[in-house]
Amino acid sequence: MSYTNENALVDTVWVAAHLDDPKVRIVDASWHLPPTGRNGHDEYREAHIPGAVYFDIDAISDPDTTLPHMMPTAEAFAAAVGNLGIANNHRVIVYDSEGLFSAPRAWWMLRAFGHDNVAVMTGGFRVWKSEGRPVSDEPPTPSATEFNAQLNTDMVRSLAHMRANMDSGGELVLDARAANRFAGTEPEFRPGVRPGHIPGSGNLPYTEIVDAEAGAFVSSGDLRNAFDAHGATGTQPITTTCGSGITACILGLGLHLIGRDNWAVYDGSWTEWGGSEDAPIEAEG
């Protein structure tokens, strides 16, 4: 069974056939969790898909907060994306080094700022290389262009909104973190962030809807079953969350694929909630 919104994904074959398409822009949005010691930008400099520009999730963010990679203003986003040579009439293809990890964050950001013509390349750079496709260590020199951005606030959730939802229960909250982090049995790696989860939230680890080896989503039927099992049937608005707003976007993309678009991302995610001393938490033990 195909996905409802299958145009949100492309594969390596499609990208290889469109490397020289002037209407297409290829974007490397590789990002890694700090404990891994890996740096997506450094890896991009070593090798990337020819012509791909680097979308720095940490740099294209709000500079006026200590929280990691929070959404920037529309003006700042427009300037950063325009400097990458991306205009509103381009089809943007985003990939990351692993297949499906950080690329959905850039996909969501572009959509939140009004650019719907964006897709994620499944398989990622790992599969691209394994297939013997061309790679480059040459940074492209894109010509800056105009990019117009306007934030769709319905796609982003704040701490204040999440607090209000605690009382109203209007939105189902789904946490994409691993089960032990959600349960609070594993310490958080960011200083000052308590272990646990938002009271009343459900846990759907992103690894349950992604085939890690293929770097692709599970089938549309399996996606529906996974979300249905957590009550995310599409009848109630959904807010996705995670550690810092990265893998929450994987859940969001999964929902979009099966046509359930009444979702938003809690941008500050657990880093903000768990780091706020007066925010209630639930944890085992």
- What pLDDT, on a 0 to 100 scale, did the predictor assign at position 285? 61
Please list the residues that pair with 265 across neighbouring strands.
156, 240
Count of CB atoms situated within 10 Å of the CB of 48: 25
Enumerate the H helices of 10-116 as residue ranges: 12-17, 40-46, 74-83, 103-112
Q: 3-state DSSP: the chain helix, strand, coil percent, rounded to 5? A: 30, 15, 55
The mean pLDDT of 69-87, rounded to a whole number, is: 98
Active site residues: 242
Q: Fold identical between 6-151 and 154-274?
A: yes
Domain range summary for the chain, segments of one domain joined by +: 6-151, 154-274
- Could you tell me which of 250, 275, 271 has the C-alpha nearest to residue 70? 271
Tokens of 220: 């549309």
Q: Is the pLDDT of residue 57 over 60?
A: yes
Fold of 6-151: Oxidized Rhodanese; domain 1 (3.40.250)
What is the residue-averaged pLDDT of the chain? 97
Distance in angstroms (rounded) separating the CA atoms of residues 264 and 63: 22
Could you give the C-alpha distances from 165 to 72, 161, 172, 217, in angstroms and in order? 24, 6, 9, 29
Distance in angstroms (rounded) separating the CA atoms of residues 183 and 282: 8
pTM > 0.85: yes
Percentage of the chain surpassing pLDDT 90?
98
Pairing between strand 156-157 and 118-121? unpaired
Residue type, 22: P
CATH of domain 154-274: 3.40.250.10
- What pLDDT, on a 0 to 100 scale, did the predictor assign at position 29? 98
Using one digit for the tens of pLDDT, what is the confidence trace for 188-240? 999 999 999 999 999 999 999 999 999 999 999 999 999 999 999 999 999 99
Distance in angstroms (rounded) separating the CA atoms of residues 61 and 90: 22
C-beta of residue 197 within 8 angstroms of C-beta of residue 281: yes
Residue type, 16: A
Tokens of 148: 């117009």
Using one digit for the tens of pLDDT, what is the confidence trace for 125-159? 999 999 999 999 998 999 999 999 999 999 999 99
